[in-house]
């Protein structure tokens, strides 16, 4: 029996093709390990059979894990965490908007009126600014606390994209928006694009695909 190594990043279909082709060309039995599952092909094996076996074995292992003591504990933990998250999110939504130093009330009201960003994002932006202001009042620097505070404020499941929207909102309406903009650009940059954005008055978007002008 011969063994082969699958291409890095291969999909199961391409891995099965590779395995079956190798076995057919050499008229021998061939094995390969794909995602910890050993696949075996004979000279006359079919790609579909290899793929079906792989998915069936993966599901068998998943089912065995779900029914194991470790799996049951993990599922219970996931369900508990999901329930706690839903409760936190519901409480945050019910609480509404935390107060923060709004420099441009008309623009903030416009966000509230049109609600294009989504109320959850607006609540997150207000909550984040509120937390930062509390810590800044105690002597902390925005640049030192912004990232940690952003996680603490995230009670309703923000993504990197929605976090970026919250940054853009605060840049436009918050008393400390300019400091946040400059921190965000430097914190987000991979090269020197954040420094460039700081010079031009832009805000780097979360995916680093360009600079959104204020």
Lowest mean pLDDT among 41-50, 73-82, 109-118, 145-154: 109-118
**Long-range contacts formed by 197-206: CB under 8 A, 24+ apart:** 203/164, 203/167, 203/168, 203/171, 205/164, 206/160, 206/161, 206/163, 206/164
DSSP 98: P
pTM of the complete model: 0.70
Question: Does residue 210 have a pLDDT over 80?
Answer: no
Q: Best-predicted range by mean pLDDT among 94-103, 113-122, 192-201?
A: 94-103
Q: What is the pLDDT of residue 116?
A: 64
Provide mean pLDDT across the span 107-136: 92
Q: What is the pLDDT of residue 207?
A: 54
Query: Collapsing DSSP states into helix, strand and coil, what is residue 1?
Result: coil
Provide mean pLDDT across the span 142-148: 97
Contacts of 16 (CB under 8 A, 6+ apart): 39, 41, 47, 50, 51, 54
Q: What is the pLDDT of residue 209?
A: 42
> Rounded CA gap, 1 and 10, in Å?
22
User: Which tokens go with 119?
Assistant: 């109320």
Question: Could you tell me the end-to-end alpha-carbon distance of the chain, in angstroms, rounded to an integer?
Answer: 65
Asked whether 189 and 195 are in contact (CB, 8 A), the reply is yes
**Nearest of 41, 25, 26 to residue 15 by alpha carbon:** 41
């Amino acid at each position: 029996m011969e063994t082969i190594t699958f291409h890095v990043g291969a999909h199961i279909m391409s891995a099965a093709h590779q395995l079956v082709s190798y076995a057919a060309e050499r008229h021998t039995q061939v094995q390969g390990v794909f995602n910890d599952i050993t696949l075996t092909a004979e000279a006359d094996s079919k790609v579909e059979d290899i793929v079906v076996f792989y998915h069936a074995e993966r599901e068998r292992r998943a089912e065995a894990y779900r029914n194991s003591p470790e799996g049951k504990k993990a599922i219970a933990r996931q369900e508990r965490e999901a329930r706690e998250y839903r409760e936190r999110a519901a409480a945050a939504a019910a609480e509404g908007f935390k107060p923060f130093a709004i420099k441009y009330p008309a623009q903030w009201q416009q966000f509230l009126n049109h609600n294009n960003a989504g109320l959850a994002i607006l609540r997150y932006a207000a909550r984040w600014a509120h937390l930062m202001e509390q810590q800044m009042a105690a002597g902390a620097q925005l640049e030192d606390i912004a990232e940690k505070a952003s996680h603490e404020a995230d009670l309703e499941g923000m993504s990197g994209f929605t976090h970026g929207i919250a940054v853009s909102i605060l840049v436009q309406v918050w008393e400390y928006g300019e400091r946040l903009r400059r921190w965000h650009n430097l914190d987000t940059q991979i090269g020197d694009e954040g420094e460039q954005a700081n010079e031009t008055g832009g805000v780097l978007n979360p995916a680093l695909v360009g600079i959104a002008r204020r």
